[in-house]
């Protein structure tokens, strides 16, 4: 698993070939996703709360790169490590989470 800063995230997404486009796996709770969301061109978002990931693993493609996201980067780090143990080959943790995205990249994304 690799860490990716929010400032480097758009370039990372752009670096993937068309057939290997990543997904953003948002592991926050539904109320958090409603409070603030991240939209990255070229990386669709899949929302699965952290505690539901093991039971919903079949919804993810093991061959697709995964960018794991949460509020501050800790839950997403745990999920990224879990995905690696399950055989996912390209897993990235978005360091600092949506909070860092709002503070460093896009101030229009609400803080909560």
Give the H or E element holding residue 26: strand 23-26
Annotated catalytic residue, options 13, 48, 53, 70: 70
Does the annotation count 47 as an active-site position?
no
- Active-site residues: which are they? 70
């Amino acid at each position: 698993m690799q860490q990716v800063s929010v400032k480097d995230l758009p370039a990372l997404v752009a670096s993937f070939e068309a057939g290997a486009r990543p997904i953003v796996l948002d592991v926050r709770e539904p109320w958090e996703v409603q409070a603030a969301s991240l939209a990255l061109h070229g990386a669709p978002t899949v929302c699965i709360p952290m505690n539901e990931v093991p039971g919903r693993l079949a919804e993810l493609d093991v061959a697709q790169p995964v960018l794991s996201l949460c509020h501050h980067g800790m839950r997403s780090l745990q999920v990224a490590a879990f995905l690696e143990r399950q055989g996912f080959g390209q897993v990235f943790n978005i360091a600092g989470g949506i909070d860092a995205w709002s503070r460093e990249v896009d101030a229009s994304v609400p803080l909560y």
